[in-house]
Amino acid sequence: MGLLSLAIWTPIFFGAVLLAFGRDEHANAVRWVALIGSLVSLAVTLPLYANFEIGSAAMQFVELAPWIDQFNVNYHLGVDGISLWLVLLTAFITVIVVIAGWEVITQRVNQYMGAFLILSGLMIGVFASLDAMLFYVFFEATLIPMYLIIGIWGGPNKIYAAFKFFLYTLLGSLLMLVALIYLYTQSGGSFDLATWHKLPLGASAQTLLFFAFFAAFAVKVPMWPVHTWLPDVHVEAPTGGSAVLAAIMLKLGAYGFLRFSLPIAPDASHEWSGLMIGLSLVAVIYVGLVAMVQQDMKKLVAYSSVAHMGFVSLGFFVFNDLGVSGAIVQMIAHGFVSAAMFLSIGVLYDRVHSREIAAYGGVVNTMPKFAAFALLFTMANCGLPATAGFVGEWMVILAAVKYNFWIGALAASALIFGAAYSLWMFKRVYLGAPANDDVKALKDINGREFLVMGLLAVMVLYMGIHPKPFTDVMDASVAELLRHVAISKLN
């Protein structure tokens, strides 16, 4: 079993053990097993970075074994500079979510922790799959644990939100399945992605494939106008569910564009890039304006996620190194920042049981340590220099200016809207005199919460101050992807 198999199956194994043997009367033991499982799962991903050959665009840590022989489906794994950091991010966020739910979850603790560990393994499987059918199996399987997390531990309208999440993402994926079957027939019976990247497809076939993949991946990102499921799901999901959904699950769709849409349908990607850029700018600007009028903190951060992911899709379709690298950096940075924002809201919700901005005011007076963390994460959400939120957005804006000045100018306007809704929320929730008795009675964060906030703060600052380790890993893979797309365009 190679490193990637260990990264996928270690959390799934621990999750299965928790589901089989965990009981609420042994909740404390269940939590420790979950923590050990998540830490071991993180530990087995670290050698991937330590042994990664920087400067190579080739797939590394490749594993290949037959799976379903009669259809030529293989258990084929590998990572490159595009997927490596997403694997590490998934394992890291899983540790954070397990610690964050330590005291908060008191019912069905084994099922809660087990679902997150299994989900972690499945998402790493998506990022590591080099066989299209294996990718599809992992991609769809991620829906099941997240559906249960929302439907069991969510808020009052959890069933509605869980169904909406499931149906939106499943329906989009069905068109992708049709595209996969078509490509299987065109390639002479192969599901190998590298083979598909070399297929000489006609213009009409590429266009149909592009929109089939768009249906699956745009819903997952989510891009405007298929983003409406996300705020409802975030509002109803438990804090850990919101953190994982925003930090990692949205990245599955963005990653799909890089693995399927751009290399398999390069001509169609160029032809429809104007549409993709337009939809991205609508997400960045219009959805940013929608975020400003939200009264629910979770809804505000959910809409801000749609706006931030708009930078990701914008970066992909300006077709230059800076844009694609910036978009991938933005994916990773958004993972840290959005998880931190949702977990911060969770800290307040656990104490006051309200997500309404109007229920707070003057929190800094009673929770000064927590308010300091919240200020850092809010600034990162605005895109303040020296935080993770700045690097990717700045790279994408520069790339957009290089592509077209006015597109870059429109994208840059999002920094103003981001600062407006983020700082306005911070002002109303944290600053001023204590607004009511609930706020006066608040206790500052305990050691467990401080650990969660501290780990995320370290990553937000490290990535903002020293992004070179992140960009070095992806440079060669991004250059190779763009070279492939450009050559196809010339042909």
Alpha-helix runs per DSSP H in 361-430: 363-366, 368-382, 388-403, 405-430
DSSP 8-state class, residue 165: H
The most confident of 13-22, 160-169, 453-462, by mean pLDDT: 453-462
Tokens 């109007």: give the residue: 358
Query: What does the alpha-carbon distance between residue 343 and residue 348 come to, in Å, rounded to a whole number?
Result: 9
Alpha-helix runs per DSSP H in 187-238: 193-197, 203-220, 229-236
The band of 481, judged by pLDDT with boundaries at 50, 70 and 90, is confident
Whether residue 309 contacts residue 252, with contact meaning beta carbons closer than 8 Å, is answered with no
Residue 488: the pLDDT is: 54
Query: What does the alpha-carbon distance between residue 202 and residue 216 come to, in Å, rounded to a whole number?
Result: 22
Residue 89: the pLDDT is: 93
Distances, alpha carbon 194 to alpha carbons 37, 46, 93, 126, 391, in Å? 33, 26, 30, 16, 31
Distances, alpha carbon 272 to alpha carbons 203, 211, 255, in Å? 12, 10, 18
Identify the weakest region by mean pLDDT among 33-37, 100-104, 327-331.
Answer: 100-104
Helix, strand or coil for residue 64?
Answer: strand
Helix %, strand %, coil % of the chain (to 5): 80, 5, 20
pLDDT, averaged across the chain = 87
Residue 377: the pLDDT is: 92
**pLDDT single digits (tens) 400-421:** 998 888 888 888 887 888 888 8
Query: What does the alpha-carbon distance between residue 284 and residue 430 come to, in Å, rounded to a whole number?
Result: 26
Which two structure tokens, joined as six digits, stand for 25? 């009367």
For 78, list phi and psi in degrees, rounded to 5: 175, 155
Query: What does the alpha-carbon distance between residue 406 and residue 83 come to, in Å, rounded to a whole number?
Result: 31
The sign one gets for the Cα dihedral 262, 464, 415, 321 is negative
Residue 455: the pLDDT is: 92
The band of 119, judged by pLDDT with boundaries at 50, 70 and 90, is very high
**pLDDT single digits (tens) 418-471:** 888 888 889 988 888 887 888 888 888 888 889 999 999 999 999 999 989 888
Q: Report the pLDDT averaged over residues 68-89.
A: 88
Residue 243, number of CB atoms within 10 A of its CB = 30
The domain locations on the chain are 272-491
Between 442 and 490, the more confident residue is 442
Percent of the chain with pLDDT over 70: 99
Residue 167: the pLDDT is: 83
Q: Report the pLDDT averaged over residues 325-332.
A: 91
For 103, list phi and psi in degrees, rounded to 5: -100, -20
Amino acid identity at 41: S
Percent of the chain with pLDDT over 90: 23
Whether residue 150 contacts residue 162, with contact meaning beta carbons closer than 8 Å, is answered with yes
pLDDT at 8 over 70: yes
Residue 138: the pLDDT is: 92
Query: What does the alpha-carbon distance between residue 332 and residue 389 come to, in Å, rounded to a whole number?
Result: 9
State the pTM of this model. 0.90
Radius of gyration over alpha carbons of the chain, in Å?
22
Query: What does the alpha-carbon distance between residue 183 and residue 177 come to, in Å, rounded to a whole number?
Result: 10
Burial class of residue 422, CB neighbours in 10 A (0-12, 13-18, 19+)? buried
Query: What does the alpha-carbon distance between residue 64 and residue 400 come to, in Å, rounded to a whole number?
Result: 39
The band of 487, judged by pLDDT with boundaries at 50, 70 and 90, is low
Query: What does the alpha-carbon distance between residue 197 and residue 23 come to, in Å, rounded to a whole number?
Result: 48
Which two structure tokens, joined as six digits, stand for 465? 């101050």
Residue 445: the pLDDT is: 85
Give the residue among 156, 61, 130, 47 at the shortest CA–CA distance from 91: 47
Residue 124, number of CB atoms within 10 A of its CB = 31
Q: Report the pLDDT averaged over residues 208-224.
A: 86
Query: What does the alpha-carbon distance between residue 399 and residue 395 come to, in Å, rounded to a whole number?
Result: 6
pLDDT at 91 over 90: yes
